[in-house]
Amino acid sequence: MKLIKSVGSMRLWSNQTRARGKTIAFVPTMGFLHEGHLSLVRRARREASAVVMSIFVNPLQFGPREDFVAYPRDIQRDSALAGAEGCDVLFFPAKKQMYPEGFLTRVGVERMDGVLCGAFRPGHFVGVCTVVLKLANIVRPHVLLVGQKDAQQAVILGRMLRDLNTEVRLIVCPTVRERDGLAMSSRNSYLSPKERERALAISRSLFLARKLVLCGERKAARILGQMKSALSRGGISDIDYVAILDAKELVPVKTVRGEVLIAVAARVGTTRLIDNIKLRI
Amino acid sequence: MKLIKSVGSMRLWSNQTRARGKTIAFVPTMGFLHEGHLSLVRRARREASAVVMSIFVNPLQFGPREDFVAYPRDIQRDSALAGAEGCDVLFFPAKKQMYPEGFLTRVGVERMDGVLCGAFRPGHFVGVCTVVLKLANIVRPHVLLVGQKDAQQAVILGRMLRDLNTEVRLIVCPTVRERDGLAMSSRNSYLSPKERERALAISRSLFLARKLVLCGERKAARILGQMKSALSRGGISDIDYVAILDAKELVPVKTVRGEVLIAVAARVGTTRLIDNIKLRI
């Protein structure tokens, strides 16, 4: 696996790879890889002839009181994991490569970037859109892969890539979970053993919601009520949101119909966790 | 000259043209072509093997009380003019092609899009950046040409194209003027003969500023004072701004040094006109 650190070298590699008639699949990450990221790489290998993963902890998507500095980093381990999964290139740019002095441009998706996590993390999705568009312009992939775990991010990026007439195809891969149901996340590393136990209430509340819908419940208010009770019973009280939304438009629904997203964001100790499930009725 | 109306056909033409090893120069316009636009096409022909012009009166860059509906349009005449100058493609998309239902993405350049015209036309440059990035992603040019007449637009687009790691090279071509000095603009068609006469005070104030600088004046305040007097003498009192700025950063300067932009925006009757000169000391 090739390690590339400069924007110029990355662009050169992509142009040469395309010129040889190869297709490129791209997995953007913030590193500290887990099975979720690696599942994206495996899917990427099936979608294109070459796979690029980027690792860049993007300062633009962190708020001033968020965990940019604390965010876990381990490039040696990540590099070994990405290589073992068959990544062709690991793109690992420094901050100055991505945001040289004088950088001022911002990309956002109106309305969608102000709801759910966007309401609690102002500027977060503008940071995500801006960096992903930059990365896509540097790597020039045919396919870009992200995880369903970050459901709002996936919808927003899909909207942005389409709205801006990029030729990049977005593939959203299923959330990968621990055996007990906890959605994999680099931020799980922040949890103490007791918090790790409490965190399970989040996925449990989602599985409960799925069960209720499968048993015929269609009223969002009732499902949300039961989810909140389940979270509370599990010791989770610091909830940012529990929501049932139209999966494409990210607008809350009163009745479960069509494709819906059921999403939770809550704090376990000081760690903010998110999780979701998508259902089609 | 080929007339293309759909995004899909435009993209296909560009991909095929690139695949044949040709380079593409792109001139985005809002139509109602004048000599300024045509000078861009002539320069475009020297820069690349194929030239695409777009004509799209972009609703996203007009404010609710601005002249989107009144903006002059004459696609027959424009088509003849573009063809005669050797354009290979005229891209003329309908509004629904560019902004299909559900369109939500916005691109902006912070700070720079809120000063000068941006302070008087909120959202204008976000509209410009968004449409130009879309057009660039559809046409996929090697070179993009704009006029110095829209100085702020040129600086902002340059910043955006660089910040987002596009491979598009921006060329800014000199303002083309009528014999008496008036900067060519599609909006000049709004002027009555008397207003047309008064409008001359704008370019005259800029030429006066240039003369003052060439004669050794370096204090921006003094130059601006004389410009305002000249505008007032010429019957122009409805001034949005008269400014002397660092030409790259668009920040006002107190002392003329390096490369400066001297810019005016004023209303003649109900017509808002802009003009500028760039000087290097």
Using one digit for the tens of pLDDT, what is the confidence trace for A67-110?
Answer: 999 999 999 999 999 999 999 999 999 999 999 999 999 999 99
Domain A186-275: give its CATH code: 3.30.1300.10
Domain B186-274: CATH superfamily, name plus number: Pantoate-beta-alanine ligase, C-terminal domain (3.30.1300.10)
**DSSP-derived pairing of the beta strands A105-109 and A143-147:** unpaired
What is the edge-to-edge ordering of all strands in the sheet holding A89-91? A2-4, A89-91, A50-55, A24-29, A143-147, A169-173
Q: Which helix (H) or strand (E) holds B257?
A: none
At B108 the three-state DSSP class reads strand
* CA distances to A92, A133, A172, B271 from A156, in Å: 24, 12, 12, 39
Q: What are phi and psi of B117, to 5 degrees?
A: -60, -30
Task: Write the pLDDT tens digit of every residue in B261-278.
Answer: 999 999 999 999 999 999
CA distances from B197 to B36, B179, B239, B268 (A): 20, 13, 17, 10
Cα B37–chain centre separation: 10
Contacts of B134 in chain A (CB under 8 A): 163-165
Task: Name the residue of chain B whose CA is nearest to A158's CA.
Answer: B105
Contact B108 A109 (CB under 8 A): no
Alpha-carbon distance of A197 to A235, in angstroms, equals 10
Tell me B200's DSSP state.
H
Q: Tell me the residues of A at the B interface, defined by beta carbons under 8 Å apart.
A: 7, 11, 102-112, 129-130, 133-134, 137-138, 159-160, 163-167, 249
Gap from A157 CA to chain B (nearest CA, Å): 10
Alpha-carbon distance B125 to B145, whole Å?
Answer: 17
DSSP chain A: -EEE--HHHHHHHHHHHHHTT--EEEEEE-SS--HHHHHHHHHHHHH-SEEEEEE---GGGS-TTSSTTTS---HHHHHHHHHHTT-SEEE---HHHHS-TT--EEEEETTGGGSTHHHHSTTHHHHHHHHHHHHHHHH--SEEEEETTSHHHHHHHHHHHHHTT--PEEEEEPPPB-TTSPBP-GGGGG--HHHHHHHHHHHHHHHHHHHHHHTT--BHHHHHHHHHHHHHHTT--EEEEEEEEETTT--B-SB--SEEEEEEEEEETTEEEEEEEEEE-
- Name which of A103, A106, A167 is nearest B108 (Cβ-Cβ): A106
Q: Give the number of C-alpha atoms closer than 13 A to the C-alpha of residue B136, restricted to the C-beta side.
A: 24
Q: What is the C-alpha separation between B87 and B276, in angstroms, rounded? A: 28
Nearest C-alpha in A relative to B107: A107
- Which residues of A are catalytic, by number? 37
CA distance A23 to chain B (A): 15
Say what the pLDDT of residue A183 is.
98
| DSSP class of B149 | T
CATH annotation of B2-173: 3.40.50.620
Please give the share of chain A, as a percent, with pLDDT higher than 90: 100
What pLDDT sits at residue A76? Answer: 98
Can you give the pLDDT at residue A156?
Answer: 98
Strand partners, A225: none
Is A164 close to B112, i.e. CB distance below 8 A?
no
pLDDT tens sequence for chain B (281 residues): 999 999 999 999 999 999 999 999 999 999 999 999 999 999 999 999 999 999 999 999 999 999 999 999 999 999 999 999 999 999 999 999 999 999 999 999 999 999 999 999 999 999 999 999 999 999 999 999 999 999 999 999 999 999 999 999 999 999 999 999 999 999 999 999 999 999 999 999 999 999 999 999 999 999 999 999 999 999 999 999 999 999 999 999 999 999 999 999 999 999 999 999 999 99
Question: Distance (Å, rounded) from C-alpha B184 to C-alpha B199?
Answer: 11
Ranges of CATH 3.30.1300.10 domains, chain B = 186-274
Distance from CA of B154 to the nearest CA of A (A): 14
Dihedral angle over CA of A198, A264, A144, B7, nearest 10: 180
Residue A46 · residue A143 · CB < 8 Å: no
B107 to chain A: which residues are within 8 Å by CB? 105-107, 164
B163 → closest Cβ in A104, A111, A164: A104
Q: What H or E segment, with its residue span, contains residue B8? A: helix B7-19
Q: Where in chain A is the domain with CATH 3.40.50.620?
A: 2-173
Instruction: Encode pLDDT of B176-201 as tens digits.
Output: 999 999 999 999 999 999 999 999 99
| Pick from B110, B159, B165: CB nearest A137 | B165
A278: phi then psi, degrees, rounded to nearest 5:
-110, 135
pTM value is 0.97
How does residue A135 score in pLDDT terms, banded at 50, 70 and 90?
very high
Helix (H) or strand (E) holding B68: none
Q: Which two tokens stand for residue A79?
A: 């590099």
For residue B245, give how far its alpha carbon lies from the nearest alpha carbon of chain A (Å). 16
Among B11, B164, B168, the strongest candidate for a mutation testing the A interface, having the largest count of A CBs within 10 A, is B164
Q: Measure the CA–CA gap between B107 and A86, rounded to whole angstroms.
A: 35
CB A242 within 8 A of CB A120: no
User: What's residue B34's pLDDT?
Assistant: 98
Computed over every residue of chain A, the mean pLDDT equals 98
A245 neighbors A209 (Cβ within 8 angstroms):
no
Rounded distance between C-alpha atoms, residue A24 and residue A139, angstroms:
8
Distance CA A187, CA A176 (A): 14
* Bridge pairing between strands B105-109 and A105-109: antiparallel
Kindly provide the ipTM of the predicted complex, given to two decimals: 0.96
How far apart are the C-alpha atoms of B104 and A145, rounded to whole Å? 21
User: Which of A104, A133, A159 shows the shortest C-beta gap to B110?
Assistant: A104
* Most A-contacting residue of B97, B105, B111, B115 (CB-CB within 10 A), to test interface: B105
Task: Count CB atoms within 10 A of the CB of residue B28.
Answer: 24
